[in-house]
């Protein structure tokens, strides 16, 4: 790009290289020398831009997670119906995982590491998405569009299969032709839509509670 600062180019190259390395090998397995070499940069540039390997990892996570929170927040802000808004949150996450395939791998590795490399700022970025879920659930309960359900449970119920689906493609590509040769491959869009349908059933108002509420409001 004309006028682009070479230092900015180097930083972007390091972030891209680090994203691939952390997704493939995790924080412990990734090597700063390999990350720098793939970015055609000197290893010292990692410490110049990010101070440490931990700083580089944090920058990678914040870049991805923070971006998703902002995009989903903007995409769902105008939706008045809390159930549709909740579905759109996970529709957006499914799309984000497809657009940023390294992210679910990094998330799974961080989960398996017990969050050992995740500081308060990164945790806050994850919290941003959960806050969107919590707000939709609380509103849905308040207007009797949802049953009382723990929003953290809702989030884990949805985010876990999205992560597993996106990291398991090589496994599925080897397993399904042998184990289920007559079954058509599952597309990411179909998988996310099925999850959204399951979500709608999970949060649907309890029929007995809804009937009592209607009687009280007559």
Task: Considering the chain, tell me which residue range(s) the CATH 1.10.357.10 domain(s) occupy.
Answer: 58-206
Tokens matching residue 69: 């929170």
> Which residue's entry shows tokens 């599952």?
186
Enter the CATH code of domain 58-206: 1.10.357.10
**Rounded-to-integer distance, Cα 121 and Cα 92, Å:** 22
Calculate mean pLDDT across residues 6-31: 93
Reply yes or no on whether the pLDDT at 216 is more than 80: no
Average pLDDT value for the chain: 91
Tokens matching residue 194: 């099925």
CATH superfamily, region 1-51: Homeodomain-like (1.10.10.60)
Q: What is the DSSP letter of 133?
A: H
> pLDDT tens digits for 22-39?
999 999 999 999 999 999
Reply yes or no on whether the pLDDT at 169 is more than 60: yes
Reply yes or no on whether the pLDDT at 43 is more than 90: yes
**Rounded-to-integer distance, Cα 145 and Cα 206, Å:** 10
């Amino acid at each position: 790009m004309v006028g682009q600062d070479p230092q900015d180019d180097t930083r972007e190259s390091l972030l891209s290289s680090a994203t691939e390395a952390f997704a493939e090998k995790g924080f412990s397995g990734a090597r700063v020398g390999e990350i720098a070499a793939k970015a055609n940069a000197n290893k010292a540039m990692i410490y110049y831009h990010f101070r440490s390997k931990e700083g580089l990892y944090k920058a990678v996570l914040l870049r991805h997670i923070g971006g998703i929170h902002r995009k989903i927040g903007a995409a769902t802000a105008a939706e008045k119906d809390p159930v549709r808004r909740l579905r759109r949150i996970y529709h957006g996450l499914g799309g984000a995982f497809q657009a940023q395939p390294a992210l679910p791998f990094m998330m799974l590795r961080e989960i398996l590491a017990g969050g050992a490399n995740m500081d308060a700022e990164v945790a806050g970025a994850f919290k941003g998405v959960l806050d969107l879920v919590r707000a939709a659930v609380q509103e849905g309960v308040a207007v009797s569009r949802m049953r009382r359900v723990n929003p953290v449970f809702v989030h884990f119920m949805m985010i876990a299969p999205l992560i597993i689906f996106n990291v398991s493609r090589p496994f599925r590509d080897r397993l399904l032709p042998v184990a289920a040769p007559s079954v058509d491959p599952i597309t990411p869009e179909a998988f996310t839509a099925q999850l959204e349908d399951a979500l709608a059933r999970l949060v649907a108002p309890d029929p007995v509670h809804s009937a009592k509420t209607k009687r009280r409001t007559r």
